[in-house]
Amino acid sequence: MESTISIAIQKSGRLSEKSLDLIRSCGIDVNADSRVLKASASGFPLDFLFVRDDDIPQYVADGVADIGIVGRNEYDESGISLSVVRDLKFASCRLSIAVPHGFVYKDLSSLEGKRIATSYPRILSDVLNKNGVNAQIVVVSGSVEITVDVGIADAIADLVSTGTTLKMNGLEEVECIYRSSAVMIARSDMSDEKRVLLNRLLERIDAVMLARHQKYILFNLPSDKLEEAAAIIGGMKSPTVTPLMDKNWVSVQSAVDENRFWAVFEELRRLGAEGILVMNIEKMTE
């Protein structure tokens, strides 16, 4: 029988859609409409397990699933040792200290002797210990932002992405103590067959992730500006240059990093580039 690997994905929450999107961009189709506990895919020997994110590290450790997608925060908080095979760069957030108005916060030492509510006691106590701060950690599993108001904590350490939830609850974010994004975790003792499948999957994920941050740009340029244009575009290899009927012009194509895109665009315009065409790249390798 052909070997398969199984992946644990959050059933419903902030990671679910993006995890599935990533897998689907790898040409792997899964019918997740019914969101049953288990599903198999077409296009790749992959089985899915839809569970609560908190359970994913343990399931991977127990071999219920071979790999999983989970927030780095949940993985670190679990205290379980697995391999983090990729940082998937989505669901970015930070674990921050937030205090009510009137709390004078200078640095972590301002928390000495205080009660801090969090759902991440392991990560928080690590940070406090490293900074020599003694505080009482109040563990809650949700609604951390109301704990100060109801009187069970003096400050909180909670996940933040925009900060609006904190503000709405009269809290001020004063210090980020930890950064997280979604990661792919895997068991270290996988069979050779499964490891081959994991590597094939990772190769596809890398191609999708690399492409996400690149644009493909195509334009016409006066031939004598080619050197300058190549210097502006930079990148891994020189751009592809095609001659045009008009000998004074060439057509140029290249991939450009999304972060630099507008700067490159404006400089090319200044050089006299015309007919600039920009396309999204679906997949790409180094």
Give the β-pairing of 240-243 and 249-257.
Answer: antiparallel
Minimum Å distance from CB 286 to ligand ATP?
28
Q: Taking CB under 6 A as the criterion, which residues in 4-23 touch ligand ATP?
A: 10, 13-15
Instruction: Using DSSP, state whether 215 is helix, strand or coil.
Output: strand
* Encoded tokens for 31: 């019918």
53 binds Zn ion (CB under 5 A): yes
Structure tokens at 51: 């569970």
Site membership for ligand ATP, residue 143 (CB under 6 A)? no
Binding residues for ligand ATP restricted to 177-236, rule: CB under 6 A? 180
Contact set for ligand ATP, span 37-76 (CB under 6 A): 52-54, 71, 73-74
Tell me if 55 contacts Zn ion by CB under 5 A.
Answer: no
- Cβ-proximal residues to 164 (8 Å cutoff; 6+ apart), any chain: none
Nearer to ligand ATP, 87 or 267 (CB): 87
Minimum distance of ligand ATP from residue 207's CB (angstroms): 24
CA dist., res. 13 & res. 131, Å (int): 33
Among 32, 153, 159, 183, binds ligand ATP (CB under 6 A): 159
Residue 182, strand partner residues: 71
Partner from Zn ion, ligand ATP, none binding residue 15, C-beta < 5-8 Å depending on class: ligand ATP
Neighbours of 97 (CB within 10 A): 24
Other beta carbons within 10 Å of 276: 15
Residue 54 binding Zn ion, by CB under 5 A = yes
- Using CB under 6 A as the binding rule, whether residue 154 contacts ligand ATP is answered as no
Q: Please state, in angstroms and rounded to a whole number, the distance separating the CA atoms of residues 211 and 285.
A: 8
Contact (Cβ atoms closer than 8 angstroms) between residue 149 and residue 170: yes
Q: Does 169 bind ligand ATP (CB under 6 A)?
A: no
Neighbours of 112 (CB within 10 A): 12
The answer to whether 91 contacts ligand ATP (rule: CB under 6 A) is: yes
Residues that bind ligand ATP (CB under 6 A): 10, 13-15, 52-54, 71, 73-74, 91, 93, 159-161, 180
Residues that bind Zn ion (CB under 5 A): 53-54
